Amino acid sequence: MKQCLRNRIASIAVQMNEIETTRAQLLLTLEELDITLKTLQMEYVTIVNQTSPIASLPNEVLADIFATLHASNEEFFTRLHASDEEFFTEAPCSEIIVSHVTTHWRQVALGTPKLWTRIFRTSNQTLLEKIKTYLERSKISPIDLRVVIGDMDDTDSYTELIRPHMARCRHLSIDASSSGQLFVQLSLLAGQRAPFLRSLDMLCRDPFGHDVASDVLSGGAPLLTALRVTGVAVQRCLPVHALQSVTTASFPGFICTPLGAYALHHTPNLSHLRLEVWGLSDIISPPLLPIILAHLVFLSIHVNMMTGGDISAFFQALSAPCLETLFIRDVVGEDFSESWSPAKFPALHYLVINSDYIDASAIINLAVCCPYITHLNYAGIRLSNLEPILAASAFDSGVSTPTYWPNLQTLSLPNYQKGEEVLQMVLSRKIAGGRLQRLRVGMEDSSVMDRDIWQTVKNHAEVVGIYGDYFQEVLPSSWNRWGPQDR
């Protein structure tokens, strides 16, 4: 019995060995088949790609297509502030996508420097291979550089890497947690000429300190036209000569540091200005010198804290004969306690009032000071403050004419208004001798409106709904697309 079992064990062992041997041979054959199949698949795909219509395009045309795709992502890149790195990491990198499709596409992509010009350094970033790769692939093309410097951030390696390329910057955006870190980055431009630099965006999260960036852009930046400075005084960052070519400037969020009149007195070519300051005392403090901005066509002003009459004093000091659009945010009645001459801004025809606190008397003061308005955007929630002003009239030889804004053609009410109020205002304006040609009204859902009332309104003016952000119709595109534009 035992002998039979031993014989069976030996037989099974032989069979197992034979099976293992056969299996190993089959696996080896399968591996060889897999390799052959993958080789054939690659050859098949390559031939298909080579015979496809797009393969017949010259490399130059394909490179232009890639560049167009790359440019289509520019809005995503430029609308983000430098601090929004959590969003930036999700940005579509078209250059990476197209370089991983085919060998041919990769060769074309790697040979197109303009695809590799957007460079982003995150806070506390120590691995710099990606930045180095982009710098190499962009060759000598102008670059768009965004830098975020966090607390206790060691930037020595990055600084040495980027230093030789700073003269190539077309757009430079710096988000620093302290003024010292900001000035370290600005020092890379010390003694430099920046022939491609078009826009400069600086954010300082801790503005305390008295250090000053010296010799920045001493070689000149002839194309610098866009400037945004947040959280630090301009005079600590840039010399006077660097401001001469600036045409678009934004100074948002001066929480702890006054703007001062420095920037306004040394940017003579400004055409678009956005002020969001903590106070106006440093600008209008005696001796109050004239602020001459001969080319200014757009002004947005938002002051967090002020005493009565500050804005009036600012406008009295401002000389801007070409001003066309005025955007006033969060003002109260006391801000316009004093008036200025109606002839001061002869070209002003577009007025935006975004405030829930402004009263009828302040609006009347604005109407007296700015009599040539043709487009009024009123974003307040109290339409009752506006209606009597539009209804006011005077009689001359038996003819009724509007007392205020006689040339008003378009009225925008971005906050949802009841149809009855709007109709009453339109009819009152008509009785006063004026006629609104276009009425733009904020509407969340047209189904909630009284259709009969709105149909009556439409009999007196063209009604256009505002469903999105009304700021888009008011603010220049440069506020959202803060970056270089090849035009």
Higher-pLDDT residue of 48 and 138 is 138
Phi-psi region of 54 (alpha: psi -120 to 50; beta: other; left: phi over 0): alpha
Higher-pLDDT residue of 279 and 485 is 279
- pLDDT digit string, tens, across residues 7-38: 888 888 889 999 999 999 999 999 999 999 99
Flag whether pLDDT at 306 surpasses 80: no
Lowest-pLDDT range, 58-67, 280-289, 353-362?
280-289
- From the list 317, 312, 350, the residue with the least C-alpha distance to 331 is 312
Q: What does the DSSP assignment read for 75-139?
A: HHHHTS-TT-HHHHTTS--HHHHHTTT-HHHHHHHHT-GGGG-EEEE-TT----HHHHHHHHHTT
Flag whether pLDDT at 486 surpasses 50: no
Question: What pTM was estimated for this model as a whole?
Answer: 0.80
Q: What is the mean pLDDT of the chain?
A: 81
Higher-pLDDT residue of 91 and 327 is 327
Q: In this predicted structure, what is the pLDDT of residue 144?
A: 93
Q: Is residue 442 part of a domain?
A: yes
Query: What are the φ/ψ torsions at residue 38 (nearest 5 degrees)?
Result: -65, -40
Q: Is residue 424 part of a domain?
A: yes
- pLDDT digit string, tens, across residues 278-304: 555 555 555 567 889 999 999 998 876
Q: Is residue 66 part of a domain?
A: no
Q: What percent of the chain has pLDDT over 90?
A: 31
Q: In this predicted structure, what is the pLDDT of residue 83?
A: 44
CA distances from 126 to 88, 130, 182 (A): 18, 11, 18
Q: Is residue 223 part of a domain?
A: no
Q: How confident is the model at residue 207 (pLDDT cuts 50, 70, 90)?
A: low
Q: In this predicted structure, what is the pLDDT of residue 487?
A: 30
Flag whether pLDDT at 201 surpasses 60: yes
Q: In this predicted structure, what is the pLDDT of residue 376?
A: 93
Lowest-pLDDT range, 54-58, 171-175, 227-231?
54-58
Flag whether pLDDT at 440 surpasses 50: yes
- From the list 318, 263, 266, the residue with the least C-alpha distance to 288 is 318
Query: What are the φ/ψ torsions at residue 375 (nearest 5 degrees)?
Result: -130, 120
Q: What is the mean pLDDT of residues 234-251?
A: 89
221 by Cβ neighbours in 10 Å (0-12 / 13-18 / 19+) ranks as buried
Q: Is residue 167 part of a domain?
A: no
Q: How confident is the model at residue 462 (pLDDT cuts 50, 70, 90)?
A: confident
- pLDDT digit string, tens, across residues 312-333: 778 888 899 999 999 988 776 6
What gap in Å lies between CA 374 and CA 368, rounded to an integer?
Answer: 14
Q: How confident is the model at residue 473 (pLDDT cuts 50, 70, 90)?
A: low
Q: Is residue 425 part of a domain?
A: yes
- pLDDT digit string, tens, across residues 101-122: 878 888 888 999 999 999 999 8
The total domain count for the chain is 1
Cα three-residue angle 461-462-465, rounded to 5 degrees: 125
Beta-bridge partners for 201: 173, 228
Q: What is the mean pLDDT of residues 387-414?
A: 87
Three-class SS of residue 200? Answer: strand
What gap in Å lies between CA 225 and CA 69, rounded to an integer?
Answer: 26
Higher-pLDDT residue of 24 and 465 is 24
- From the list 202, 203, 242, 201, the residue with the least C-alpha distance to 223 is 242
Structure tokens at 65: 């297509």
**How far from each other are the two terminal CA atoms of the chain, in whole angstroms?**
98
Chain position carrying tokens 């189904």: 447
Q: How confident is the model at residue 256 (pLDDT cuts 50, 70, 90)?
A: very low
Structure tokens at 56: 């017949």
Q: Is residue 195 part of a domain?
A: no
Task: State which residues form the domain around 427.
Answer: 374-468
Q: In this predicted structure, what is the pLDDT of residue 374?
A: 94
Rg, the chain, Cα only: 33
Q: Is residue 454 part of a domain?
A: yes
Structure tokens at 99: 């370089």
Task: Report H helices in 207-307.
Answer: 262-265, 281-284
